[in-house]
Every structure is written in C-alpha cells, then in structure tokens.
Structure 1
C-alpha cells in the first residue's frame, strides 16, 4: 500500500508562497519533485514518504512491537542506537508491481503537478525501459532488487535518511555492497529495539511510607527479572536469516529523588545475586542490619513525596544464522516510585 503524503511546495515567485497538496510517488522512489520547476522547495510534513517500502522482517518472543523507547523498552547505554533504516530484497515481480502502482497513482491524478509526474515517469522508465529492461523479470532466478526500508517510528530522524541509495540489483550469492543491508547482526540490532522488559518496581520495606534516618530495604524478585529475548527473521526470495537478541538483568541503580539521602551500597548500584535476585528481602529481626540494597532518607518529604527512580541495567547478547553472535551495548530501563518520608527520629520495628 502506498502512503498518501502531504507535502507543501513553496513556489518562490513574485514574493508569494503557494501551498499545494500532492500524493507520494512509489514509496521507494527518491523523486525530485522540484525537477522542472526552478526555485521550488519541498518541506516534508508528517508523512513517511521517500524511497522505502514496508519491512517484511518478523519478530517473536518478548516483543513490545514498534515504538522506540516506549514503556517496556530499554535505552542503550552510550550514544549507540539500533538502525533507523536498512535494505531488504524484493523480487522483480514485487518491485515492478510497486513501481507501476506508484506511477499510476501519480500519473492519473489531475491534482499532481507536471514536474511530479515527470519525475515519477523517469524513475519508472529507468527500471522498465532504460538502464534495466522490464525490471529484470527475465532474471528472476538470478537475483533480487534491494530496497531501502525505514523504521516507521524514526523515519523523520537524520539517521533514517542515510539509506539514500536507489533500488539496486544484486545477483544471488553476492553480498549487497552497501551499509545496513540485512544481515544477522542488523537483525539482532533491530530486535534490540523490540525487547519488552518488566517494569522496574522494587519491593520496599517499609512500603510506600518510611521514616527519616530509618534504612529502607529494597529488593527485586528473581522470578520476575529473568532473561528475555526477541528473534528477528527475514525469510523472503531465497534469503532466510535470523537473529535472537537476549537481555539479562545485571544490576539495579537506586536514585532517591533527593540529595538528602544515603544509598546502600554508597554507589546506589545493587548487583545481581548468585540466585538471580537483587538485594535482600526484609524480615523480622533485621532492623539493626544494613541492607544489601536500600536507601536512608535524611529529611522528610513534607507534605509531598520523593520520586525514587529504580533503573535496571540489562546485558545484551545475540546469536544468529551461521553461528554469528556477539555483544550489543547494555540497555537500561527504569520507573519512578512515590515514597513518603515522615519526620520521626526513632522507631521500634
């Protein structure tokens, strides 16, 4: 299906700006809509046009679907991010069908300006009766067209514009000579962005309401925080590759929500125990002990609350087709909890 694109064309003539609405050419056709219209400028507005097609990668496992860093998805440590665009294979028939449908959409629309129709026509002719003949349908058993695909949640980002190569032909058995062509590692990185992790709500003792200068114990149940994984697979036109990205919780970072507090340990980072739990559950008789993981507030929250932020660090590994595998940057995911701190100096537990 071809997206309808709302694009403003600013025609800089006689000091006037004239806006018009057009439809997109084929989703992967990087058409210069200003061609044949000197001085025209285009401004993209809220639509996923350009030279891309919808991805056919499938995801399974603990997946949250698309949505970037929405609830349940972790944030990479450092400045690394999963790919915002990549290249996937399409058969000559598939490529021809999409190109012809896009051409008809624009060419038969009376609202389309002549330069848009001309540009789309030139794109079509290049693959149908120019550099190539009939979209290489007579070579269907010999190779595929590779076409750019963008993450639908990040298509406006600068990173998504880097896959700017027009559809190109690759013979069977040859590796596409372009960055971000689908490989097991690319699939692992895309799966990274789909991993769903549990909310990081720690158990506290005392729960919700604590006292000034009283250690608050914090822990996470080992049964809840276990490894989670997502498998990304692409099985089209003779290409059958997949990768599984696995996230393992390794530590909990506590941030009290105020400078008037101490954490246990002092760094605020509680390591994973040997049994997979984090911290230690409070039990009667431990009132005089120092918690493995916890907080001591030094000032009351008055009539309000402190926002305790609990953030899990997840160690990320992947395995893929052909024995490939390795590490990806750690990811973090955290949530806030409201904590009431009351001004009572001594408490019997």
Structure 2
C-alpha cells in the first residue's frame, strides 16, 4: 500500500484582509490544480510526507504535519463590501486536521491568497495562439512582378486582430491579451527592411498601379540570379502583450509571428516594331 503525498510551490501574492497568516495552495485539497506534483511514497511518519516538523504552525499558514490550512473561496454570490471593486472575493480560513475539517468566518480579500499572479500571467501568455501573417501583394506575386513597378504590401485582416488567453487556479483567473502593432518586411534583394505601423493598406481597383504604396516596395533588379529564381519576401508581426487579473495588470514581453512567400521579379522587355 502506498501513500500519495502532494507538493506545491507556495505563492507570493499577499492576502490583504487576512490577520492570521497568509494562505497557501494546498495540493492535498486540490490535487489537480497546476503546480501540484503527486508522487507515491511508502507509509511512514506523517511529518515526513508533509514536510512538517510534527507540531506548531508553519510560516506559510499551514498547521504542520497534523493538519493543513489554506484560504478557500466561499459565498460566490455574496456582494462585495461597499467601496470594493470586482477584484478580490470572500475567503474563509479552512483547516483539515486528523480527518476533521473546519472553516473560519469569511473575510473579504482584495487579492486571492496563495497565487503568484506574475507566474499565472506568464502561463496565460504561453497559451496565446497567434496566427501567422497572411501576406498579400499587388500586383499579385504569382506568377511574377515587374522591376520598377511599385508593389503594395499588407497583411490579411483575418490574421490581424486582438487575441486573448487565460490561465486559472481556484479563485483567480489571469488573462493575457496580444495586439498586433507593426510589420517588418524583408525583401531578400539587398535592400533594407521596411517596418510599417499597422497591417498595411490593401490596394483597391481604380488606384493607379504606378502609385507608391503607404507600405510597399519597388524591386530594382530581376530575381533571375536568386535561388529558385525568386526573392524571399518575409513578414514579421510584433504583438504587444499585456495581462489583467485581480487587483491590476501589467506588460509582458512581446511576441512575434512570421510568414514567407516567394516573389519572382521579371525584367520587362520593350517590344519594338517596324511600320510597313
């Protein structure tokens, strides 16, 4: 017979209204939550399985080997105290000792206890699923574009827009939001990259095809000598990322997505005829 022991990384966020210690994530009560690592151990001294000393109160709010305490969300429909916003909630100090559970009087906490919001924000960021930019050109890159004819560049609107993802633990949810801001275009023809704010402007019928694009490029040489007789057009979108959750939010490291397309550039040939 084996004994299941649970471990968890304790939190850094403070419990604003608590006056009897900071709660912690109790994996024994919530074994499926992120950060809990269940391992099988042989039966032995309970203090060895829990990591406690066998008596006294631990600094993180637990009650040692003979019992465990944590802050649990309660009264989900109970209104917030006057002057309190939508963040925070009602929590009660919940303890389990020798198989007997007890719960204290609910108190309002401005921030869920036992949750590392920064780590949760990073988890939400890692769950963002951002689309690769859809490259669009005019003239169309297939079958080719011409030397010295302006090429309009833009990103397909379907791949441009706000994206969000959330990460949760019991009692608190953090959301990461990514917003595309710029596109860096690389042309593979020995010219400098071009960075444009926004997705670029689509070419519309009736626009002079010789007009320069608000975000575009004019090839000045043929791609005949390039690998596969084509230049590689690359679009790299930069996304700004922010997070929001109980008690506030902040800025996270930006993300990028990239797509490439092959562009054949042909030299136009003048046709000279003779009159008869």
Return the TM-score normalized by structure 2. Answer: 0.59
Match of 2:60 in 1: none
Q: Which has the higher strand share?
A: 2
Residue aligned with 2:189, SS: coil
State how far apart, in whole Å, the 1-side matches of 2:38 and 2:119 are.
30
Deviation for aligned residue 1:308: 0.9
Structure 2 residue aligned with 1:60: none
The residue number in structure 2 matching 1:248 is 179
Give the CA RMSD over aligned residues.
Answer: 3.9
Q: Give the corresponding residue for 1:204.
A: 137
Unaligned runs of 5+ in 2: 10-23, 56-62, 73-106, 272-276
CA distance in 2, matches of 1:320, 1:130: 32
The equivalent of 1:102 in structure 2 is 40
Q: Are the equivalent residues in 1 in contact too, given 2:132–2:159 (CA < 8 A)?
A: no
Q: Is 1:316 aligned to 2:247, yes or no?
A: no
Q: How many residues align?
A: 203
Off by >6 Å, runs of 4+ in structure 1 = none
Describe how 1:1-349 pairs up with structure 2 within 5 A. Answer: 89-92=25-28, 102-104=40-42, 126-127=48-49, 131-132=53-54, 136=64, 138-142=66-70, 182-208=115-141, 209-235=144-170, 240-259=171-190, 261=191, 268-272=194-198, 277-302=199-224, 303-322=228-247, 324-344=248-268
Contact 1:253 1:269 in 2 (8 A): yes
After TM superposition, the score normalised by the length of structure 1 is: 0.48
Distance 1:287 1:299 in 2: 19
Q: Aligned-pair distance for 1:312?
A: 0.9
Q: Tell me the alpha carbon deviations over residues 91-132 of structure 1, each in whole angstroms, 9 at most, x when there is no partner.
A: 44667xx9995224xx9xxxxxxxxxxxxx89x863358624
1:309 shift after superposition: 0.9
1:156 alignment counterpart: none
**Which has the higher Rg, Structure 1 or Structure 2?**
2
Structure with the higher helix share, 1 or 2 = 1
